[in-house]
Amino acid sequence: LTTTDDPEGRKTVMSLVATASKERIFPVGRLDRNTTGLLLFTNDGEVAQKLSHPSHKNKKIYQAELDKPLTADHLAQIAAGLELEDGKAEVDDVAVVAGNPHFVGIELHVGRNRIVRRIFEHLGYDVVALDRVQYAGLTKKDLPRGKWRFLNEQEVIRLKYFM
């Protein structure tokens, strides 16, 4: 659960990084409880703002597993932008992964609530699994699920000064 505290007492992401720092750190952005993937933590409010605000156009890439194959027509509709109940959902890129239409990669820079799931649900698909694989140029490659790492110096510099 991407929150620092849960009134229902459920386990939160903070338990994953409890021993990471003596300083107060907090998650940047959110993942809903049914989404896995890359989540960034920081103790720097300015960096958090740069990463969170849509005006900075920070790219997020997700891989969605769908309950049925995505049709070419629906792929084109997603690429063109869909009108949802809270406005137009525009993606930066969308593609079938490795030729398997049950798996779709979707790239966007907006962070509206459950946007990826709602795009597919709007077209009649159930999202079986959703995984954020990249955020602001950082990937979770070689990082096991439930584990964390510190950013290296170049990654910190890029996030602080070039985003």
Looking at the annotation, which residues are catalytic?
Answer: 32
What is the C-alpha to C-alpha distance for residues 145 and 132, in angstroms, rounded to an integer? 12
The strand ranges marked E within 81-159 are 82-84, 87-89, 93-97, 100-108, 127-135, 138-139
Residues 6+ apart with CB under 8 A from 98: none
On whether the CB atoms of residues 52 and 159 are closer than 8 A, the answer is no
